Amino acid sequence: MRPADEALIVIDIQNDFCPGGALAVAEGDEIINRVNGLMDDFQTVILTQDWHPADHSSFASNHPGHAPFETLTMSYGPQTLWPDHCVQGTTGAAFHSDLRTDPADLIIRKGFRVAIDSYSAFFENDRSTTTGLNGYLSARGITAVTFVGLATDFCVAYSALDAARLGLRARVLLGACRGIDLGGSLARMSEEMRAAGVALEE
């Protein structure tokens, strides 16, 4: 059992990010057994869940003339446009049925504000609007976090970078993550995490 001041944060293991989903990450479902087992090692387990309204600004379908994976400049900076995914209340937004959810102490829903996307478990993409996760961890006396889930180079990486920025000891178990690798994003974000002091382990 890990010490009480460490938490496991499971990022976005939802149907739309698994094979067959609207924004599927290759082999995304193959990490679930390991993630389920890791939950028994931590006294605090937190799940995150992408939770978008249908008219979300990050959806390419809401920008006529633009296609998924193009980049637009929003008020808060560059934003990748995505296929519609994890729409509130849909099967795609639900956690994968094989994922254990009963050990979760907290479920953080993110990306529910129409005008701004949210990759990180801590902040929306303006890097200042908080999800409340840091306050929760602080109140629980948690100083170290381990990340697993989907996708390595987006929501996992942004969460880990923010954790390090907030002064938490951050670790990513790469073997319990899968990436999208959009235009070299996997190597780029891995290097950013290393540079920020995030421990990358298998």
Instruction: Return the pLDDT at 61.
Output: 98
Instruction: Return the pLDDT at 193.
Output: 98
Pairing of strands 169-178, 77-80: unpaired
Instruction: Return the pLDDT at 83.
Output: 98
- Say which residue the tokens 């990436």 belong to: 179
- Give pLDDT tens digits along the chain (202 positions): 999 999 999 999 999 999 999 999 999 999 999 999 999 999 999 999 999 999 999 999 999 999 999 999 999 999 999 999 999 999 999 999 999 999 999 999 999 999 999 999 999 999 999 999 999 999 999 999 999 999 999 999 999 999 999 999 999 999 999 999 999 999 999 999 999 999 999 9
Instruction: Return the pLDDT at 54.
Output: 98
Both ends of the chain: CA-CA distance in Å? 18
- pTM of the predicted protein model: 0.97
Give the catalytic positions in this structure.
12, 110, 155
How many of the other CB atoms lie within 10 Å of CB of 128?
8
